[in-house]
A and B are shown apart, each in its own frame.
Chain A
Amino acid sequence: MSTAAVARMRKSLVEAPWQLWLSQLAAILRIEIKKNLWMRRSIWIYLLAFAPTLMFGIHALTSPMGRGTSIGEDTQVFAYVFQIFYLRVGIFFGCMGLFTWLFRGEVVEKSLHYYFLAPVRRPLLIAGKFLAGLITTAIVFNTSVLLGFIFTYSHFGPAGRAFVFSGPGLGYLLDYLLVTTLACLGLGSLFLALSLVFKNPILPGIAVLLWETFHAVAPALLQKLSVSFYLKQLCPVTIPPEGLMALFTVLAEPVSPWVAVPGLVLLSAAILAFACVRIRRTEISYLAD
Chain B
Amino acid sequence: MTTAANTIVFENVSKFYGEVLGVNRVNLTLPPGVTSLVGPNGSGKTTLMNLMTGLIRPTQGRVSVLGLTPDEPEEFFRHVGYCTQFDSFPKGVTGFEFIYQLLRLRGLSSSEAACLTAEAIERVNMAPAAHRRVAGYSKGMRQRIRLAQAIAHHPTVLVLDEPLNGLDPMARAESIALFEALGKQGMHVVISSHVLHEVDKISDQVVLMSYGYVVAEGQIHGVRSEVKEHPMQILVRCPHPNLLASRLFSQDHVVEAKLNNDGKGVLVRTKDAEQFYQLLNRIVVEENLPLESVAPNDDDVNSVYQYLIGSGGSNV
Contacts and interface: CB of A to CB of B under 8 A. Distances in A.
B106 A114 contact: no
Nearest to A111: B90
Interface string A101-130: 000000001110111111111100000000
A17 B89 CA distance: 29
A119 B50 contact: no
A116 B56 CA distance: 10
Contacts of A246: none
A117 B73 CA distance: 8
Of A35, A38, A118, chain B has the most CB atoms within 10 Å of the CB of A118
A35 B90 contact: yes
A111 B56 contact: no
Q: Determine which residue in B80, B89, B106 has the highest number of CB atoms from chain A within 10 A of its CB, and name it.
A: B106
A30 B104 contact: yes
B91 interface: yes
B74 A113 contact: no
A27 interface: yes
A117 B53 contact: yes
A31 to B, nearest CB: 5
Given A110-B86, A110-B88, A113-B84, A17 B74 contact: yes
Contacts of B55: 113, 116-117, 283-284
A118 B105 contact: yes
A24 B80 CA distance: 18
Q: What does DSSP make chain A's interface, helix, strand, loop or mixed?
A: helix
A288 interface: yes
B86 A113 contact: yes
B107 A20 contact: yes
B3 to A, nearest CB: 23
Interface in B44-78: 50, 53-57, 73-78
A256 interface: no
Q: Which of A24, A119, A281 has the most CB of B within 10 A?
A: A119
Given A283-B55, A285-B56, A39 B82 contact: no
Nearest to B73: A119
Interface of B: 17, 50, 53-57, 73-78, 80, 82, 84, 86, 88-92, 101-102, 104-107, 149
Interface of A: 17, 19-20, 23-24, 27-28, 30-31, 35, 38-39, 109-111, 113-122, 281, 283-286, 288
Given A17-B74, A30-B104, A115-B105, 9 more contacts: A20-B107, A28-B105, A31-B90, A109-B90, A117-B55, A119-B75, A119-B76, A285-B17, A288-B17
